[in-house]
Amino acid sequence: MTSLHADEAFLAHYQFSHDPFAPRVPGFKFFPAQRKPVLGQLHHLARYSQLLLAVVGPEGSGKTLLRQALVASTNKQAVQSIVVAQGVTGSEALLRQVAQGLSIAQADVRSILAQVGQLALTGQEVYLLVDDADQLDDAALKSVLALAAGNAEGRPHIFLFAEQDLLARLEALAGGEECYHAIELQPYAEEETRDYLAQRLNGAGQSIDLLTEEQIEDIHVRAQGWPGAINHEARELLVEQMLAQRSAGRGTGGGFALPKKHLLALAVVLVGVAAAWFMQGRESAPPAPVASNSSLPLQSSTPAAEAEEPAQAPATESRAPAIEFAGASQPLPLPLVGESQSVIRQPLAEAAGEELDNFEPPASPEPSTVTLPSAPIAAAPAPAPAPAPAPAPAPAQQPEPATPKPATPAPAPAPAPAATPKPAPATAAANAHAGSWYAQQPASRYALQVVGSRSEANIQALVREGGSEYRYFKKVHQGQPLYVLTYGSFASRDAAQAAVKTLPAKLQAGKPWPRTLGSIQQEMSR
């Protein structure tokens, strides 16, 4: 997981303020009890020994941290420390850096020793510290040995921090003479590993409780107690744990291990889908009899109209039951309108390239099945032929034709115009897909990523409901377009994280996560 999105997902999943296991964390200082005697020994040998001091240990054993502690603990009034930058390999570059540290123009051994002697007359010593000294070539090591030997004018105190194989090279170059004193670093004990992990995690805003006792022991064993390896093993373990939780959350193993809030949101959506299916079944049932009786457009609703056509429909004298439309005077709203619960993208979905398309955003009601009855009712001009059958039927039918019945279809035209026009989509949603807006934003600013969907209409509906701070962009994922909803533009990650609390509860449930607008611009360009 080395990509920008994977790193951001890792931080968001554990809510880290920074990567706690990065090689160089500003301000981090961990100095276990076993290293304090080593630091004291270096100060003692620098004062009383004339030998070059070599601190050796494997990569990631804490040599750089010890070098920093040595510089920080020296008396700045009595010691001038010169640190040779990492990456220096040749003799010329080495001597040039030492000369620059001493503020002299001549970069050779004699001139450097002369300046060291001048500083000694003023009571000031020179410490020369070389990190990654095993990268020096033989010519550079010979120059280091020459400086460590010194002359009558003076000599600097030289500290080499390197891996174990440097000692054999020094032996070969020294020609059998005793020219150095070696100090080998020891790995951390298990309790020191625990303390180290605790300090790393605390600095990133979490605690050691993020790891179990078994995991701490496993990290210590696999890292063999070396701090650099501890960083690597701890990060790999947390990444594997994150991926396992995401995989369980997708339910691929046959059971759902989603967080409770996500399960609740999913249950609401499933109930809504079932209710919508049930209501659509009820609404679609009335049109079937209307189609079968197309030759009799609702005449059965008026007794006078039935008596008018006895010759045209002799076979229908069994008298089909009258069709009734419950609530036909107004459109029936679709279920969950305005209350639909979107299945929110989890913060880590972007790292794995997931997207959620099975959510139903708020949409306008479409009572298409309810508008069917209004057309036949409006087309039945029952009041005109009503006087004709009055003299024809026998007096037995006189009490049946109640005059208020024709008045019942009169309100029918009212619902027809109420359901026919469908509001056009808001222009805000149409303008929300503003690729130019993302392109014009500084790459260092942050936005909250809320949800992604394969359906642009779904995202537009969320934008219409949310307002002008909601925008979305299009990217291509697994060969298909994916529309990603974002919220706001913030100057820092903290400001974006604080804005999560201002979002609606149904959007907060999915833990929207901050990401840089630069990463969004990269996705859009791909």
Q: Which of 17-21, 79-83, 134-138, 285-289 has the lowest mean pLDDT?
A: 285-289
Residue 263: the pLDDT is: 67
The CATH class given to the 35-184 domain equals: alpha beta
- Residue 316, pLDDT > 60, answer no
- Across the range 37-63, mean pLDDT stands at 90
- Across the range 7-12, mean pLDDT stands at 85
Residue 4: the pLDDT is: 54
Residue 76: the pLDDT is: 87
Compare 523 and 396 and report the one with higher pLDDT.
523
Going by pLDDT thresholds of 50, 70 and 90, the confidence category of residue 83 is very high
Name the CATH code of domain 264-281+326-362+426-526 (choices 1.10.1740.110, 3.30.1540.10, 3.30.70.1070, 3.20.10.10).
3.30.70.1070
Going by pLDDT thresholds of 50, 70 and 90, the confidence category of residue 283 is low
Domains 35-184 and 264-281+326-362+426-526 share a fold: no
Task: Count CB-CB contacts under 10 A for residue 200.
Answer: 23
Helix axes 4-14, 227-249, angle to 10 degrees: 80
Buried b (16+ CB within 10 A) or exposed e, 62-77: bbbbbbebbbeebeee
Going by pLDDT thresholds of 50, 70 and 90, the confidence category of residue 46 is confident
Residue 215: the pLDDT is: 92
Residue 410: the pLDDT is: 44
Q: Which two tokens stand for residue 308?
A: 């008018």
Domain segments of the chain: what residues? Answer: 4-26+189-249, 35-184, 264-281+326-362+426-526
- Residue 501, pLDDT > 70, answer yes
- Residue 293, pLDDT > 70, answer no
Q: What is the pLDDT of residues 145-196, one digit of tens each?
A: 999 988 888 899 999 999 989 999 998 888 878 888 999 999 999 999 999 9
With contact defined as beta carbons under 8 Å apart, do 87 and 140 qualify? no
- Residue 1, pLDDT > 70, answer no
Q: What is the largest CA-CA distance in the chain?
A: 145
Residue 345: the pLDDT is: 43
- Residue 144, pLDDT > 90, answer yes
Q: Which of 240-244, 334-338, 453-457 has the lowest mean pLDDT?
A: 334-338
Identify the CA nearest to 9 among candidates 201, 219, 246, 196: 246
Compare 137 and 399 and report the one with higher pLDDT.
137
With contact defined as beta carbons under 8 Å apart, do 94 and 156 qualify? no
- Across the range 324-348, mean pLDDT stands at 41
Residues 6+ apart with CB under 8 A from 171: none
- Across the range 57-64, mean pLDDT stands at 90
- Across the range 67-88, mean pLDDT stands at 89
Residue 482: the pLDDT is: 84
Going by pLDDT thresholds of 50, 70 and 90, the confidence category of residue 433 is low
Compare 477 and 353 and report the one with higher pLDDT.
477
- Across the range 87-105, mean pLDDT stands at 92
Compare 198 and 347 and report the one with higher pLDDT.
198
What is the C-alpha separation between 404 and 103, in angstroms, rounded? 112
pTM score, whole prediction: 0.47
Q: SS3 letters for 324-369?
A: CCCCCCCCCCCCCCCCCCCCCCCCCHHHHCCCCCCCCCCCCCCCCC
- Residue 109, pLDDT > 90, answer yes
What is the C-alpha separation between 298 and 322, in angstroms, rounded? 8
Residue 250: the pLDDT is: 67
Going by pLDDT thresholds of 50, 70 and 90, the confidence category of residue 137 is very high
